[in-house]
Amino acid sequence: MTDRKKVVVVGGGTSGLAAAYSLLCSKEDVEVTVLEAADRAGGRIAGEEAGGFFIDTGAELFIESYGTVRKLAESLGIPLKRPPYVKGGLMYSNGRFHGIYMGGTWKQRLETLKTLLLFRVFSPKATLQMLRFIRMMRKRGNELSIEDPAKLAAFDSEGSFAAFMDDHSLGDYVNEASHVNIAAYTGAYPEEVGAAYGMSVLWNFLLNPAESVCLPERGVGSFATALVRATDEVTRLSTPVQRIVVEDGIARGAVTEAGENIAADAVICATPATTATWIVPGLPPDVRDVLSRISYSTVVKVVMGLDAELFPRGTFAAAFPKHSGSFLLGIANVKCVAPGVAPEGKNLLQAVTVGDNACSLLPLTDDEIETKVIGEVRKYFPAMPQTPHLARVYRWKEALCIASGGMLRDVLKIRTNGLDGVEGLFLAGDYMRVPISNGALESGIDAAGDSLSFLRQTAAGAD
Ligand SMILES: Cc1cc2nc3c(=O)[nH]c(=O)nc-3n(C[C@H](O)[C@H](O)[C@H](O)COP(=O)(O)OP(=O)(O)OC[C@H]3O[C@@H](n4cnc5c(N)ncnc54)[C@H](O)[C@@H]3O)c2cc1C
């Protein structure tokens, strides 16, 4: 490229920062500007530090097969570790918690056996269905790679996870237990989530014995903080974009809400799909149609720093199935997976609500949410203090992209065909891949690569 070209990245979240970092690391002479609406960058993986605690405001789990996370972490100098983490945890049923772990210590294995054989959580029918489902997942495991949306898209039907399970006579297992796992990993329930996506998250996060959590010592937020720092100089905060300008089928820049017109030779739109549909008036109709069907779950999480350890040692989470009657989906001790998130002798707990329960908290003040959630935790764990060292409320109206049946397949078509009739515009975001943090980061890096190829082509054409 001869002249210095400009790339504008709209959205300084996960995918937008990955795009900017990738452009900055490239050998090309490009000017990069990230326009971020919020007063901080990082989006749904952002980290926060308070009172010696390192908080994940959004995502909290990376797993080993997150190849893009691994590469970026290495480049950013953030070591990832496999903690001594046991999948599963406590499940509330019939008035008390029962341990159900995928492996673990002998004590945990024995407890799991007792839970299963005495049918303390699942009925005999659901227990048999669970074993059948695990066998089925083992056979299909290589089709369920979280890194390979093309493979997943191949069997992404219009159907939901719930419908798929019903069709395979596995409905009792869903109703009694796996709905809580699906909700924990997607923020949505089995009726909302597509079959391929639901199976993929269950297999990769829970059932695949070879897969493990793999995190920075201070959690996902510390990875985001490093990415934010690496792109700090090119990021403009509190700069919401109103419109991406497309003229004569070519992206020309962005107009901010304040009315500033920022010209560019290429634009990367790294906002959620719901925003992309209105921010780019020039989107091709078939692309707009796919994007307008994409939705997000709602999550409210309350993060609390405390001295007490509420769970048995080595237990990450306690879950509340729908029939438990709690408005919480689960409580997790983040220190169990990322030991550096809390000072010595302290723990960092997060209580999560999703769906309607989360929506009903949204109108409340932070103090009201805190009081309600702490009261609920104390109902189940009396050792929970009334006033923890720290409590923070995080509201995610658009939390995790839901990937309903057919979405992965439709989005793959957009990636394959490109944005027909619009040049110089590239879409990034979790919805463009398997919708998790790794997918978002990968989509940003790909959009950066595509924008550089486009700029090279236009430069060659001009010569
Ligand atoms: C509570 C929670 C828990 C999660 N848990 C996990 C997990 O454990 N593991 C995992 O892998 N994933 C998890 N995820 C999902 C993961 O965080 C997301 O898939 C990923 O971070 C999304 O990246 P993104 O770039 O698509 O969006 P974001 O990171 O949200 O970035 C979009 C950015 O665009 C900005 N923006 C929007 N509109 C405009 C505008 N008009 N102008 C300028 N900027 C704009 C936003 O402010 C935001 O910063 C979780 C998410 C949440 C919320």
- The response to whether residue 87 sits with its C-beta less than 6 Å from ligand 1 reads no
- The response to whether residue 277 sits with its C-beta less than 6 Å from ligand 1 reads no
User: Rounded to whole angstroms, what are the CA distances from 53 to 214, 220, 305, 342, 396?
Assistant: 19, 13, 7, 5, 21
Atom in ligand 1 nearest the alpha carbon of residue 241 = 42
- Return the structure tokens found at 82: 């496999």
Q: Which residues of 339-368 are buried (b: 16+ CB within 10 A; e: fewer)?
A: bebbeeebbbbbbbbbbebbeebeeeeeee
Residue closest by Cα to atom 38 of ligand 1: 271
Has residue 15 got a pLDDT over 90?
yes
Q: pLDDT grade, residue 18 (50/70/90)?
A: very high
- The response to whether residue 352 sits with its C-beta less than 6 Å from ligand 1 reads no
- The response to whether residue 408 sits with its C-beta less than 6 Å from ligand 1 reads no
- The response to whether residue 78 sits with its C-beta less than 6 Å from ligand 1 reads no
Atom in ligand 1 nearest the alpha carbon of residue 394 = 1
- The response to whether residue 36 sits with its C-beta less than 6 Å from ligand 1 reads yes
Has residue 219 got a pLDDT over 80?
yes
Q: Range with the lowest mean pLDDT among 100-109, 115-124, 347-356?
A: 115-124
Please give the residue that has the higher pLDDT: either 428 or 177: 428
Rounded mean pLDDT, 240-251: 96
Atom in ligand 1 nearest the alpha carbon of residue 430 = 26
- The response to whether residue 221 sits with its C-beta less than 6 Å from ligand 1 reads no
Strands (E), 271-338: 299-306, 317-319, 330-333
pLDDT of residue 345: 93
Rounded mean pLDDT, 279-291: 92
Residue closest by Cα to atom 6 of ligand 1: 59
Report CA(14)–ligand 1 centroid distance (Å).
Answer: 6
pLDDT of residue 463: 64
- The response to whether residue 56 sits with its C-beta less than 6 Å from ligand 1 reads no
**What amino acid occupies position 171?**
G
Report CA(399)–ligand 1 centroid distance (Å).
Answer: 7
- The response to whether residue 429 sits with its C-beta less than 6 Å from ligand 1 reads yes
Query: For residues 303, 306, 312 and 317, what is the CA-based torsion angle, rounded to 10 degrees?
Result: 0
Fold topology of 5-41+231-295+402-462: FAD/NAD(P)-binding domain (3.50.50)
Q: Which residues of 188-199 are buried (b: 16+ CB within 10 A; e: fewer)?
A: bbbebbbbbbbb
Q: What are the pLDDT digits (tens) for 328-346?
A: 999 999 999 999 999 999 9
Residue 353 CA to residue 303 CA, distance in Å, equals 12
Report CA(58)–ligand 1 centroid distance (Å).
Answer: 8
Residue closest by Cα to atom 15 of ligand 1: 436
Report CA(277)–ligand 1 centroid distance (Å).
Answer: 16
- The response to whether residue 251 sits with its C-beta less than 6 Å from ligand 1 reads no
Please give the residue that has the higher pLDDT: either 28 or 428: 428
Residue closest by Cα to atom 52 of ligand 1: 58
- The response to whether residue 270 sits with its C-beta less than 6 Å from ligand 1 reads yes
- The response to whether residue 15 sits with its C-beta less than 6 Å from ligand 1 reads yes
Q: pLDDT grade, residue 153 (50/70/90)?
A: confident
Q: Which residue, among 14, 10, 33, has the nearest Cα to 234 in the 3D structure?
A: 33
Q: What are the pLDDT digits (tens) for 186-207?
A: 999 999 999 999 999 999 999 9
Would you call 244 helix, strand, or coil by DSSP? strand
Atom in ligand 1 nearest the alpha carbon of residue 17 = 25
- The response to whether residue 434 sits with its C-beta less than 6 Å from ligand 1 reads no
Has residue 1 got a pLDDT over 70?
no
| Domain extents in the chain | 5-41+231-295+402-462, 122-205
- The response to whether residue 443 sits with its C-beta less than 6 Å from ligand 1 reads no
